Amino acid sequence: MNGQSTEDRGNNADRRIGEWADLSATSHPLAARPEVLRASVEAGVMERRGSRRSVPGLAMVMLVVLVVAGVGFAVSRQRSVVAPSASASAVASASVSANPSASPRPSASPQPLITSPGDRVFAMGRTDERSGWAFLWSIDPTNVEKKRPMLLVTEDGGATWRDATPRRTGFGPVIEFVDADHGWYLSGPMLWRTTDGARSWQETSLPTPFVVDTAAMSFVSASTGYLLAPADSATNSDTWVVYRTDDGGASLQAVSEVVLPGETASSSPDPAIAFSDRLDGVVAGWNVALQTHDGGAHWSPVDLPAPVGSKTATYVGLDQLRAFGPYVVLLAWMGGPGATAYLSDDAGRTWRQASTAWSQSTSDIWAIVDGQTWLDFTAAGSGSIQVGATSDAGRSWTELTFPFSWRVTAASFVSATDGWAILGTDCRASSDCWLGRLAQTHDGGVTWQPVQ
C-alpha cells in the first residue's frame, strides 16, 4: 500500500504485535494479587459454590460498598417512544432439577411482610401485572440475621413482599414461575417446587450422583417441563442430559444427551433451554444451538442466517433464549460487538434476523415480553440511556434517548409499557455493582419509580 514494500508492511505488523505483547506484559494490578484475591473470595463476596448464573465480576477487590443515595428516576423525554401494549408473558426466567424418589416436604413458614427489597437485588421476574419475585443477596448486609440470600414475592405489584426463600439456598439459584402459583427454584442439588405462590415448597433432588450447580429449565405448563443438566459435573465432560417431567417436577426422566462443545459443568455462563410445547424446543450453549421436535429425543443444529453486514454466520455465544408458543427468540453472539436477535415463528425450524444494525451494534439489556414485543436498553454514553422498542418482532423500532444516571442490569416486562428493572450502581464506586435496586415503569421506561 502507498509505496510500502511487502517487507515493510510485514515489519509493520510485527512491530505492532511486538508493541502489543510488550505492553500487555506490564499488567500486574494490585487488586489481582493472589493474596488479595484469596482474601476477597474468602470474605464471602463470591462464595456461591459454583452458581454460575450470576457473575459478580470485578467483585472481589477492595470492597467499598457505596450505597447509592436517593432515587431520582424521573427523566426528561427527548423523543417520543411508541410503546403499544402487548400480552404479557408469565415466564420469569429459567432453569433446573429433581428426583423421583425424594419425598415432598413443605418448607418456608409464613413471614412478616417486607416493604422494600432494598438495594441488593440480584435477579427478579414479573409473573403478571400484580405478581413477581425478587432474589436478593441480603436485605440488610449489616444485620447478621438478615445477611443471607432471600427470595421475596409480591402479589400487589410490589407494595408489599414476603420472604419465600426455600429452606436451603445458595447465592445463584435458577428461578422460574409459569404463573403466580406455580414455580420452581433450583439451588445446588435440589429442585424446589411450589403450587401455592411460594407459600410452601416441596423438594426433590436431581437424579444424578453429582452435585449440580449448573442447569437450565423450561416449563411449558404447571406440569410439563424440561431440564438441562451436566451429565457429569466431576469431569471435563461437555455432555448434558435433558430431563423431562410431567408431574410438575416431582419426578424427572432422562430423555436424551446433548453435547455442547467446550461447555462443562464449570464453564460460565449457563446454557439455556426453551420449549415451545411438549415436543418442540431449543438448547443454546456457547458454541452451538440445537433444536428438537420430538420432545428432546433427537437434536439437530439450529440454522441461523448470517447477521446483516456479515458474510458468515458464526454462532459464538448465547445472550438470551425464550419461547412463547411457536415463537422462539434467540439473542445470539455472532462474532460482532453486540447480540443479534433471531426469531423463529415455527418453534425453531426456521429463523430470521430480527434486530436492526443499530440494536445489534450496541451493548444492551433486552426485555423480551413475548414473541413480538421487545425492549432494548442501551447505555448511550455517560449519563444517558437509549431505549429501543418493537411490537412487531423487530420489523420496526422506535428509539428514545434520555438522561439516565443508572445502569440497567436486568429488565422484565409484562407489556411494552409495564415493567421492572434492576438499576445497578456505578462499578467505579462499588464492588457489588451487579446488585441493584428494583424500579418500575408504566410508560415503557421513560419514567421509573422505586419498587417498595
Using DSSP's 3-state secondary structure scheme, residue 136 falls into strand
Grid cell 431449543 is found at 282
Minimum distance from CB of 46 to another protein (Å)? 6
The nearer residue to another protein, 41 or 357, going by C-beta atoms, is 41
What is the closest distance, in whole angstroms, from the C-beta atom of residue 192 to another protein in the complex?
24
Name the minimum Å distance from CB 116 to another protein: 24
Residue 30 or 144 having the CB closest to another protein: 30
Question: Which contacts (CB < 8 Å, 24+ apart) does range 151-157 have?
Answer: 151/175, 151/185, 151/198, 152/114, 152/117, 153/197, 153/198, 154/130, 155/130, 155/131, 155/180, 155/197, 156/130, 157/129, 157/130, 157/132, 157/440
Strand partners, 172: none
Residue 56 or 166 having the CB closest to another protein: 56
Nearest distance, CB of residue 312 and another protein, angstroms: 9
What is the Cα–Cα distance from 49 to 396, expressed in whole angstroms? 43
Closest approach, Cβ 177 to another protein, in A, equals: 22
Choose between 102 and 427: whose C-beta lies nearer to another protein.
427
Nearer to another protein by Cβ, of 47 and 303: the residue is: 47
For another protein, which is the closer residue by CB, 28 or 103?
A: 28
CB nearer to another protein: pick between 46 and 121 = 46
Cβ atoms of 332 and 318 within 8 Å: the answer is yes
Shortest CB 360 distance to another protein, Å: 13
Cβ–Cβ under 8 Å, residues 47 and 41: yes
C-beta of 45: minimal distance to another protein in Å?
A: 9
Q: Which is nearer to another protein, 30 or 64 (CB)?
A: 30
Q: Helix, strand or coil for residue 16? A: helix
Start-to-end CA distance of the chain, whole Å, equals 63
Q: Alpha-carbon distance 301 to 294, whole Å? A: 14
d(C-alpha 350, C-alpha 343), whole Å: 8
Least distance in Å: CB of 223 to another protein? Answer: 32
C-alpha dihedral sign at 60, 451, 413, 363: negative
Nearer residue to another protein within complex by CB, 320 or 415: 320
Cα angle vertex 388, ends 386, 390, to 5°?
A: 170
- CA atoms within 13 Å, Cβ hemisphere of 74: 0
Find the shortest distance in angstroms from Cβ 174 to another protein: 16
Beta bridge partners of 300: 291
Residue type, 145: E
